[in-house]
């Protein structure tokens, strides 16, 4: 058949293949200095940020000191100082060709938001000039009415304001045609409610930092002044050629493929992981990294991931709020630079069935960032060299166990989304059951403590008999890494692996901070109670640790988290297994969670409930978009292609019969006929299930219906479409196939 007789859709697909096959990779030339010499990364790192070092250089000393104090105390900057700081920032920005500024904030969409204003203003005589005042730096009033608020803010009181978060440096977004000064900000209603993701994150950092300080104080670690959670976010993503992606309405609308037959080869050969990075992807990565370095994002590692066309980028860890901001920048830069390289960058948790989905491992620890020389810079989850340091380590570990054990349902809810539902528990990513992996050595130590063998020993003896002198080895002990655990200890940090690749990590990190603050407070209280009853400090601490280890035993699991056995075992242990988003989200507003946030003041009850509503709503909207996209694909692409092929085959059967020859294609024709019948039936079923959701008044009911009936109907529609894809002649098929999208680039 000549290509001119093909349907337009099928022709477009074949042209896309040709286009992809003849692409010349876009080069990225690393930056050079005025002599044409290649610059080192250290020479341009942070060049587009106005960080503390530059502040110190550019600001009068007393202003700088006050600014630092404000940052450390998390207070609002007073206007006097703000004017001076704004002036310095403006001069710096204008020198770099910046024309506009914006408050850059994180509404509850999971993304960032910005509204640009020009520096342009007019002086008294009406002459144009550039102006940027202190009040413009510290506060702005975007129209808040169109951001999700989960019912916290009704549209008639739409006012909210953004306020500079001076703990995160301002930066220049350097687009080819325009440079904008971005001011990282929080977003708050006029009543002081957090309308964004970041306000609560900052509160939670304060809370868990304070809890850590108090706990440290109780166990005799003195000299620590400020403790913060540190976070390193490994970002996974897919790169698909734009020519293919633009022919897939599902990728463009829903971020994932809603159908697509399995290619003969997926990831079973395990040949992509850590393989040599394809030239096109490498040149894309180099450009991303250049953009990110300029923004001061310390991206460090890059590699192929498990699935074909899947990659990962990870930075060096930073304080949790900076890491969160930087991850937003990573996602944005990946997306923008991908377009320049004719790629579609895909962040969805499960863009392709049958190959691994993408996550965002949230590596979490806590560090003393201000303190006396002996403790300054200490990572609280780093096993130490002396018995006392190891006592500190074990106490913090026990506090983490307590927090995660008590709030495992809440932690599950923190990563719940329609995308992540396809990944968690799909035998490739951590299951929806939250458990903690500690590894052999730590497990043995926990067991020893549990037996009570070290109960009343002093710390030197206890650590000796626990074999804790070997503790520094846990950081090198990477052999027992368990990839199936959602929350794994990896040497000197925990790795929360259940976070979705497209998610803002603000919420999961906030809830993790809150849970662990609770664990620390409870452990602290337990130690203090034992001290009050006359026990010496070390014995009191070890004793409380022992209680914690016994209490939280159910949460520890080092086995295969993907196995069916674990699902059964976890049920026996009473661990929640919240498979789908609607049931997971209910944890946000559980009594236990309400109490946690009331105690810690990280969310007011109104804020908490709104978090729940925003997420339920988003889930419903995402699913509705998926259903709508699927309808369109089936009705306008799949069915027409099948009808056309069916018709063409039927004609050949008629001709063959007329000629009196045999027509073996009748077999195929019948198969297609049968499948088409099933597709009609399933398509109708989907329609009916979808209609049902519209009849519910409450979003919760809709969400549940989407999670059950609608999802099931969608997967049934998909199955038939995929069977049809496997039988309809290739040249009729309008949608780029998995084998093309995943293997051609």
List of residues contacting ligand ADP (CB under 6 A): 230-232, 234, 301, 314-317, 363-365, 379, 490, 492-493
Nearer to ligand ADP, 241 or 558 (CB): 558
Partner interacting with residue 654 (select from ligand ADP, Mg ion, none; CB below 5-8 Å by kind): none
Among 581, 575, 607, 577, which Cα is nearest to 594's? 607
Nearer to Mg ion, 348 or 361 (CB): 361
Partner interacting with residue 232 (select from ligand ADP, Mg ion, none; CB below 5-8 Å by kind): ligand ADP
| Nearest approach, Cβ of residue 423 and Mg ion (Å) | 16
Name the 3-class secondary structure at 437.
strand
Nearer to Mg ion, 317 or 393 (CB): 317
Task: Judge contact between 607 and 193, C-beta under 8 A.
Answer: yes
Nearer to ligand ADP, 241 or 495 (CB): 495
| Nearest approach, Cβ of residue 233 and ligand ADP (Å) | 7
Q: Which two tokens stand for residue 394?
A: 């074990």
Partner interacting with residue 189 (select from ligand ADP, Mg ion, none; CB below 5-8 Å by kind): none
Among 395, 696, 361, which Cα is nearest to 541's? 395
Nearer to Mg ion, 361 or 407 (CB): 361
**What residues from 263 to 302 belong to the interface with Mg ion (CB under 5 A)?**
none
Partner interacting with residue 505 (select from ligand ADP, Mg ion, none; CB below 5-8 Å by kind): none
Residues with Cβ < 8 Å from 564, sequence gap 6 or more? none
Is residue 423 a contact residue for Mg ion (CB under 5 A)? no
Partner interacting with residue 316 (select from ligand ADP, Mg ion, none; CB below 5-8 Å by kind): ligand ADP
Pairing mode, if any, of strands 178-189 and 100-104?
parallel
| Nearest approach, Cβ of residue 543 and Mg ion (Å) | 34
Nearer to ligand ADP, 321 or 629 (CB): 321
Nearer to ligand ADP, 70 or 482 (CB): 482
Task: Judge contact between 245 and 251, C-beta under 8 A.
Answer: yes
| Nearest approach, Cβ of residue 481 and ligand ADP (Å) | 7
| Nearest approach, Cβ of residue 490 and Mg ion (Å) | 7
| Nearest approach, Cβ of residue 197 and Mg ion (Å) | 23
Burial 621-636 (b: 16+ CB within 10 A, else e): ebbbebbebbbebbee
Among 161, 308, 147, which Cα is nearest to 238's? 308
| Nearest approach, Cβ of residue 45 and ligand ADP (Å) | 16
Partner interacting with residue 396 (select from ligand ADP, Mg ion, none; CB below 5-8 Å by kind): none
Partner interacting with residue 230 (select from ligand ADP, Mg ion, none; CB below 5-8 Å by kind): ligand ADP
CA distance 237 to 626: 20
Nearer to Mg ion, 256 or 493 (CB): 493
Pairing mode, if any, of strands 487-489 and 436-437?
parallel
Q: Which long-range contacts (CB under 8 A, 24 or more apart) does 79-86 make?
A: 79/134, 79/135, 79/138, 80/134, 81/134, 82/134, 82/135, 82/137, 82/138, 83/133, 83/134, 84/59, 84/60, 84/134, 85/55, 85/59, 85/134, 85/137, 86/132, 86/133, 86/134, 86/136, 86/137
Q: How far is CA 278 from CA 159, 200, 281, 284, 292, in A?
A: 49, 40, 5, 10, 21
| Nearest approach, Cβ of residue 44 and ligand ADP (Å) | 21
| Nearest approach, Cβ of residue 497 and Mg ion (Å) | 8
Q: What length is written for the chain?
A: 745
| Nearest approach, Cβ of residue 310 and ligand ADP (Å) | 15
Is residue 361 a contact residue for Mg ion (CB under 5 A)? yes
Is residue 402 a contact residue for Mg ion (CB under 5 A)? no
Closest-by-Cβ residue to Mg ion is: 361
Pairing mode, if any, of strands 120-122 and 299-304?
unpaired
Nearer to ligand ADP, 134 or 561 (CB): 561
| Nearest approach, Cβ of residue 10 and ligand ADP (Å) | 43
Residues with Cβ < 8 Å from 340, sequence gap 6 or more? 26, 287
Alpha helices in 96-174 (DSSP H): 134-138
Pairing mode, if any, of strands 178-189 and 160-164?
antiparallel
Stretch binding Mg ion (CB under 5 A), from 304-312, 353-361, 374-382, 431-439: 353-361
| Nearest approach, Cβ of residue 495 and Mg ion (Å) | 5
Task: Judge contact between 164 and 137, C-beta under 8 A.
Answer: yes
Nearer to ligand ADP, 307 or 735 (CB): 307
Nearer to Mg ion, 209 or 561 (CB): 561
| Nearest approach, Cβ of residue 316 and ligand ADP (Å) | 5
| Nearest approach, Cβ of residue 488 and Mg ion (Å) | 9
DSSP bridge pairs for 184 = 104
CA distance 214 to 483: 34
Task: Judge contact between 524 and 514, C-beta under 8 A.
Answer: no
Partner interacting with residue 311 (select from ligand ADP, Mg ion, none; CB below 5-8 Å by kind): none
Q: Which long-range contacts (CB under 8 A, 24 or more apart) does 523-532 make?
A: 523/215, 523/395, 523/398, 523/399, 523/402, 523/548, 524/211, 524/214, 524/215, 524/218, 527/215, 527/218, 527/219, 527/395, 528/218, 531/218
Partner interacting with residue 493 (select from Mg ion, ligand ADP, none; CB below 5-8 Å by kind): ligand ADP
CA distance 331 to 339: 13
CA distance 449 to 462: 9
* Dihedral sign (CA 174, 179, 184, 189): negative
Stretch binding Mg ion (CB under 5 A), from 195-203, 243-251, 360-368, 711-719: 360-368
Nearer to ligand ADP, 298 or 576 (CB): 298
Partner interacting with residue 492 (select from ligand ADP, Mg ion, none; CB below 5-8 Å by kind): ligand ADP
DSSP bridge pairs for 679 = none
Partner interacting with residue 314 (select from ligand ADP, Mg ion, none; CB below 5-8 Å by kind): ligand ADP
Nearer to ligand ADP, 28 or 317 (CB): 317
Nearer to ligand ADP, 482 or 593 (CB): 482
Report phi then psi at 372, rounded to 5: -70, 160
Partner interacting with residue 65 (select from Mg ion, ligand ADP, none; CB below 5-8 Å by kind): none
Partner interacting with residue 118 (select from ligand ADP, Mg ion, none; CB below 5-8 Å by kind): none
Partner interacting with residue 317 (select from Mg ion, ligand ADP, none; CB below 5-8 Å by kind): ligand ADP
Report phi then psi at 164, rounded to 5: -55, 135
| Nearest approach, Cβ of residue 195 and ligand ADP (Å) | 28
Partner interacting with residue 526 (select from Mg ion, ligand ADP, none; CB below 5-8 Å by kind): none
Closest-by-Cβ residue to ligand ADP is: 232
| Nearest approach, Cβ of residue 387 and ligand ADP (Å) | 22
Task: Judge contact between 189 and 337, C-beta under 8 A.
Answer: no
Partner interacting with residue 171 (select from ligand ADP, Mg ion, none; CB below 5-8 Å by kind): none
Nearer to Mg ion, 418 or 502 (CB): 502
| Nearest approach, Cβ of residue 72 and ligand ADP (Å) | 20
Stretch binding Mg ion (CB under 5 A), from 60-68, 355-363, 442-450, 732-740: 355-363
Nearer to Mg ion, 162 or 490 (CB): 490
Nearer to ligand ADP, 135 or 478 (CB): 478
DSSP bridge pairs for 366 = 229
- Interacting residues with Mg ion (CB under 5 A): 361
């Amino acid at each position: 058949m000549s290509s001119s007789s093909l349907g337009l859709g099928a022709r477009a697909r074949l042209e896309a293949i040709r286009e992809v096959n003849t692409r010349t990779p876009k080069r990225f030339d690393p930056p050079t200095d005025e002599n044409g010499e290649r610059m080192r990364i250290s020479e341009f790192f942070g060049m587009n940020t106005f960080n503390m070092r530059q502040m110190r250089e550019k600001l009068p000393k007393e202003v700088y000191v006050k600014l630092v104090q404000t940052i450390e105390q998390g207070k609002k900057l007073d206007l006097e100082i703000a004017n001076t700081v704004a002036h310095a920032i403006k001069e710096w920005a204008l020198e770099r060709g910046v024309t506009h500024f914006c408050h850059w904030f994180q509404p509850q969409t999971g993304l960032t938001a910005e509204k640009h204003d020009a520096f342009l203003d007019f002086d008294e005589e009406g002459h144009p000039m550039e102006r940027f005042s202190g009040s413009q730096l510290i506060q702005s009033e975007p129209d808040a009415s169109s951001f999700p608020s989960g019912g916290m803010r009704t549209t008639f009181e739409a006012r909210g304001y953004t306020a500079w978060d001076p703990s995160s440096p301002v930066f220049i977004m350097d687009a080819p045609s325009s440079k904008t000064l971005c001011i990282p900000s929080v977003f708050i209603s006029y009543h002081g409610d957090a309308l964004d993701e970041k306000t609560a994150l900052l509160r939670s950092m304060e809370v868990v930092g304070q809890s850590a300080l108090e706990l440290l104080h109780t166990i005799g670690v003195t000299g620590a002044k400020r403790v913060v959670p540190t976070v390193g976010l490994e970002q996974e993503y897919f790169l698909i050629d734009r020519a293919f992606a633009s022919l897939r309405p599902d990728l463009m609308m829903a971020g994932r493929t809603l159908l697509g037959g399995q290619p003969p080869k997926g990831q079973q050969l395990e040949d992509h992981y850590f393989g040599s990075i394809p030239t096109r992807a490498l040149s894309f990565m180099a450009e991303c990294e250049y953009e990110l370095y300029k923004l001061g994002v310390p991206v460090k590692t890059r590699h192929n991931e498990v699935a074909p066309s899947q990659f990962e980028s990870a930075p060096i860890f930073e304080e949790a709020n900076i890491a969160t901001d930087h991850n937003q920048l990573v996602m944005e830069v990946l997306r923008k630079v991908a377009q320049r390289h004719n790629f579609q960058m895909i962040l969805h948790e499960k863009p392709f069935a049958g190959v691994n989905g993408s996550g965002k491992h949230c590596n979490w620890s806590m560090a003393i960032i201000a303190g006396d020389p002996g403790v300054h810079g200490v990572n609280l989850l780093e096993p130490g060299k002396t018995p006392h340091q190891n006592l500190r380590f074990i106490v913090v570990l026990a506090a983490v166990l307590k927090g995660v054990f008590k709030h495992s349902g809440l932690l599950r809810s923190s990563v719940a989304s329609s995308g992540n539902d396809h990944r968690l528990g799909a035998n490739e990513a951590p299951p929806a059951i939250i458990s903690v992996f500690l590894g052999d050595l730590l497990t043995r130590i926990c067991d020893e403590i549990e037996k009570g063998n070290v109960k009343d020993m002093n710390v030197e003896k206890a650590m000796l008999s626990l074999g804790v002198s070997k503790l520094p080895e846990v950081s090198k002990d990477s052999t027992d890494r368990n990839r199936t655990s959602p929350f794994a200890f990896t040497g000197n940090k925990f790795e929360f692996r259940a976070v979705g690749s497209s998610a803002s990590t603000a919420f999961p990190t906030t809830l993790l901070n809150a849970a662990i603050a609770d664990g620390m407070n409870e452990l602290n209280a337990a130690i203090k109670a034992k001290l009050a009853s006359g026990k010496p400090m070390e014995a009191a601490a070890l004793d409380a640790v022992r209680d914690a280890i016994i209490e939280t035993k159910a949460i520890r699991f080092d086995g295969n988290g993907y196995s069916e056995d674990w699902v059964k075992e976890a049920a026996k242990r009473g661990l929640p297994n919240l498979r789908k988003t609607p049931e997971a989200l209910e944890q946000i507003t559980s009594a236990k969670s309400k109490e946690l946030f009331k105690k810690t003041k990280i969310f007011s009850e109104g804020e908490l409930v709104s978090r729940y509503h925003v997420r339920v709503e988003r889930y419903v909207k995402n699913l509705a978009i998926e259903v709508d996209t699927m309808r369109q694909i089936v009705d306008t692409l799949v069915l027409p292609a099948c009808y056309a092929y069916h018709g063409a085959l039927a004609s050949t059967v008629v001709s063959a019969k007329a000629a009196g020859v045999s027509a073996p294609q009748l077999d195929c024709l019948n198969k297609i006929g049968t499948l088409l019948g099933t597709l009609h039936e399933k398509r109708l079923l989907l329609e009916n299930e979808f209609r049902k959701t519209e009849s519910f008044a409450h979003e919760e009911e809709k969400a549940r219906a989407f999670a059950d009936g609608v999802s099931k109907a969608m997967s049934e529609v998909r199955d038939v479409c995929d069977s049809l894809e496997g039988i309809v002649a290739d040249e009729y098929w309008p949608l780029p196939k998995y084998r093309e999208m995943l293997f051609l680039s």
